[in-house]
Each structure stands twice: as structure tokens, then as C-alpha cells.
Amino acid sequence: MKTAHDLVLAAKSQCREVPIENAQALVQSADVVIDVREADEYATGHLAGAINIPRGLLEFKLSGTPALEPRDLNVVLYCKTSGRAALAAVAMQGMGYLHVVSIAGGIEAWVQAGMPVVKPVQPLFE
């Protein structure tokens, strides 16, 4: 029986992962950057301009959002450490997306490399 780890390793062998040192340039030139973490994770900090589509909703959101339907979009995916992003990349490739990359190491590697993260400010209610 396969484990989640087995599935992630298989996905990583089937998708393109970009090393963190090349990630910023790809993020800047991407048509769309998708954070596949859960909404509460996204709210703690995310890449500037990234949209949040949790991994469990990805195929449905891609199919139901006209701006995300073109299969030739340049897409960069990331999650916490890159497992969910690799699974998402393989799913998108299976849907016919042609230019999908995952950031190796995810947002943890991004932050460790000192790259910028957007952290939403919560309003104070007194």
C-alpha cells in the first residue's frame, strides 16, 4: 500500500520543481502563482500576488474560473514544503496544463532564503 510520502515522491518525479534560487524570477514572470495551502496557512503569509486555491479544491476551481482555464498559462505552485504543490502540478498536467512548475521546498524555503512574504494585517476591534 502506498503512503502519502510515496505519492509525493512519485509526483516530484513527474513534475518540474524549480530550485529556490531560480524561483523569484519565475514567480515574477508567471501568469498566475497559486498557493495550494489551506486558507488559514495562506493568511499567515504568502507570496505577493499569489492566489489561494487549497489542494483539495484545485481541479474544481481551475475548471470553474474562466481566467484560469487556458492551458498555456505559466503557472507557479507552492505549498508549505512542496509536497502538495507537486501533487497539484501533476494534477494540472493531467488536465492539460502545459507550463506548470512547483517551488522546491515551498514557502519554508522561500522564507529561509530571505525572500519577501505578504503578511495581511488583521483589523483591531476595540
Tell me the pLDDT tens digit for each residue of 30-74.
Answer: 999 999 999 999 999 999 999 999 999 999 999 999 999 999 999
CB 115 within 8 A of CB 42: no
105-124 pLDDT, tens digit per residue, is 999 999 999 999 998 777 77
Q: CATH classification of 4-112, choosing from 3.20.190.10, 3.30.70.270, 3.40.250.10, 3.40.50.300?
A: 3.40.250.10
In the sheet that 16-18 helps form, which strands lie side by side, from edge to edge?
A: 16-18, 99-103, 74-78, 32-35, 51-52
CB 113 within 8 A of CB 43: no
State residue 123's pLDDT score.
72
Residue spans per domain, the chain = 4-112
- What stretch of H or E contains 85? helix 83-94
The model's pTM is: 0.92
Section 91-102 average pLDDT: 97
Task: Check: CB of residue 23 under 8 Å from CB of residue 108.
Answer: no
